[in-house]
């Protein structure tokens, strides 16, 4: 059975998991106030960088005694800075349940050479969170972008932990509630839930993380781009917008525009509601079909940003080729770009549901999944 071509198309077919869709209020004109051709150390540049930090604090509800820095190299830069600057002081546990967490574990064990405990789970699952020894530093990804599995909350992290928690929250920040009292280091990139530009990362430090930086010097060398302290003291300027090296003021302006849009839709609560509504539109669709399912096994851990789907129909002969063909068909039709599963993840689709995506577009996409699925089943035969 080949279903008919659906009547409605998503107005915006951009469902990539990063860089994610720009927010609906974005046009290039909204960047016209960018401090282009000016020094980022001039008052105009510094003011914008400071505003980016303080508006981030306001919208995410980050405590006043936490430090927020804009750092080089997107989320990866922020995570690597934390790993290289802080680890080695005590034992380390790495939590791995998808590709990015696996990458951090490789860095820590192979590059830093630390004898870390690595707790892994298959795509779709979480490792046993009850088994973690918080006397160690614990490194984890809040939302696994490539499996669509997130930790359900921060209840599994004790308030009186001895080690630090280092959390890659890049596909969670601005879509999921982050319990700041449980997070010592948190990172994200502008290009994810806010649909900003890549290049810069955000590094958020609790007072305990700052204490670690000021009391511990790792045995390995640190390039300038990673250095957060000087003479054993935190370089405070980084956390006021005096960046380590030159940032893109165009990207900064774009981030400020995204933050203003975030406020206009109700701040964090509004952003979470938008991501939840997008995910529900997919969940309603999945529930009515017996040929598609979430990669996430437990609904309590289902991501509301990087929603990963697998095909479960017995008629499918080659799962990977089938999923690729569905994604390609939707791309060629111009109704969904970039929704193939991540290269290391199980075959399937990944549809970004973060706040910048409109629920009407997700809803409009669903009948096209029926259409592409049936067309590929027919093409196989």
Ligand X SMILES: Cc1ncc(COP(=O)(O)O)c(C=O)c1O
Least distance from ligand X to the Cβ atom of residue 170, Å:
5
Q: Interaction with ligand X in 159-198: which residues (CB under 6 A)?
A: 168, 170-171, 189, 191, 198
Determine contact, residues 148/308, Cβ cutoff 8 Å: yes
Least distance from ligand X to the Cβ atom of residue 316, Å:
27
Residues 6 or more apart whose Cβ sits within 8 Å of residue 321: none
For strand 200-205 and strand 349-352, is the pairing parallel, antiparallel, or unpaired? unpaired
For strand 117-120 and strand 92-96, is the pairing parallel, antiparallel, or unpaired? parallel
x-or-dash string of contact with ligand X, 97-136, rule CB under 6 A:
---x------------------------------------
Distance CA(82)–CA(111), nearest Å, equals: 14
Among 76, 147, 176, 301, which residue sits at the site for ligand X (rule: CB under 6 A)?
A: 76
Verify binding: residue 145, ligand X, rule CB under 6 A: yes
Least distance from ligand X to the Cβ atom of residue 194, Å:
12
Distance CA(75)–CA(170), nearest Å, equals: 7
x-or-dash string of contact with ligand X, 13-42, rule CB under 6 A:
-----x------------------------
What burial letters (b/e) apply to 31-58, b meaning 16+ CB within 10 Å? beebbeeeebeeeebbebbeebbebbbe
Identity of the residue, 76 or 206, whose beta carbon is nearer to ligand X in the bound complex: 76
Distance CA(26)–CA(258), nearest Å, equals: 8
Identity of the residue, 14 or 329, whose beta carbon is nearer to ligand X in the bound complex: 14
Structure token digits, residue 98: 């998808």
Identity of the residue, 74 or 165, whose beta carbon is nearer to ligand X in the bound complex: 74
Q: Rounded to 5 degrees, what are φ and ψ at 72?
A: -75, 160
x-or-dash string of contact with ligand X, 55-74, rule CB under 6 A:
-------------------x
Determine contact, residues 302/294, Cβ cutoff 8 Å: yes
Identity of the residue, 167 or 272, whose beta carbon is nearer to ligand X in the bound complex: 167
Least distance from ligand X to the Cβ atom of residue 380, Å:
31
Distance CA(336)–CA(46), nearest Å, equals: 39
Least distance from ligand X to the Cβ atom of residue 61, Å:
21
Least distance from ligand X to the Cβ atom of residue 141, Å:
5
Residues that bind ligand X (CB under 6 A): 18, 74-76, 100, 141, 145, 168, 170-171, 189, 191, 198
């Amino acid at each position: 059975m080949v279903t008919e071509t659906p009547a409605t198309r998503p107005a915006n077919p951009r469902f990539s998991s990063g860089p994610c869709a720009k927010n609906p209020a974005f046009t290039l004109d909204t960047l016209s106030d960018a401090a282009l051709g000016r020094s980022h150390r001039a008052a105009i540049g510094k003011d914008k960088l400071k505003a980016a930090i303080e508006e981030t604090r306001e919208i995410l509800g980050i405590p006043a005694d936490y430090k927020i820095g804009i750092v080089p190299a997107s989320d990866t830069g922020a995570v690597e800075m934390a790993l290289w600057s802080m680890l080695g002081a005590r034992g380390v546990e790495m939590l791995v349940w998808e590709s990015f967490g696996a990458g951090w574990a490789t860095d820590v064990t192979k590059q830093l050479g630390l004898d870390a405990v690595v707790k892994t789970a298959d795509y779709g699952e979480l490792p046993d969170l009850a088994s973690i020894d918080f006397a160690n530093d614990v490194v984890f990804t809040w939302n696994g972008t490539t499996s669509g599995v997130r930790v359900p909350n921060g209840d599994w992290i004790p308030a009186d932990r001895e080690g630090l928690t280092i959390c890659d929250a890049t596909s969670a920040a601005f879509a999921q509630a982050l319990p700041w009292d449980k997070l010592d280091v948190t990172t994200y990139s502008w290009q994810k839930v806010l649909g900003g530009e890549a290049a810069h990362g955000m590094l958020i430090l609790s007072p305990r993380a700052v204490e670690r930086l000021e009391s511990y010097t790792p045995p390995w060398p640190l390039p300038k781009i990673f250095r957060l302290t000087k003479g054993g003291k935190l370089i405070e300027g980084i956390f006021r917008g005096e960046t380590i090296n030159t940032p893109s003021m165009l990207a900064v302006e774009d981030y400020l525009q995204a933050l203003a849009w975030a406020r206009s839709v109700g701040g964090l609560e509004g952003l979470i509601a938008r991501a939840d509504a997008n995910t529900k539109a997919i969940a309603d669709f999945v529930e009515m079909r017996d040929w598609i399912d979430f990669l996430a096994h437990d609904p309590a851990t289902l991501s509301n940003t990087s929603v990963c789907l697998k095909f479960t129909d017995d008629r499918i002969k080659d799962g990977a080729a089938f999923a690729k063909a569905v994604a390609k068909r939707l791309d060629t039709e111009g109704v969904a770009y970039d929704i193939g599963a991540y290269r290391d993840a199980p075959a399937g689709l990944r549809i970004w549901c973060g706040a910048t995506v409109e629920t009407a577009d997700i809803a409009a996409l669903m009948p096209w999944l029926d259409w592409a699925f049936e067309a590929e089943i027919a093409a196989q035969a």
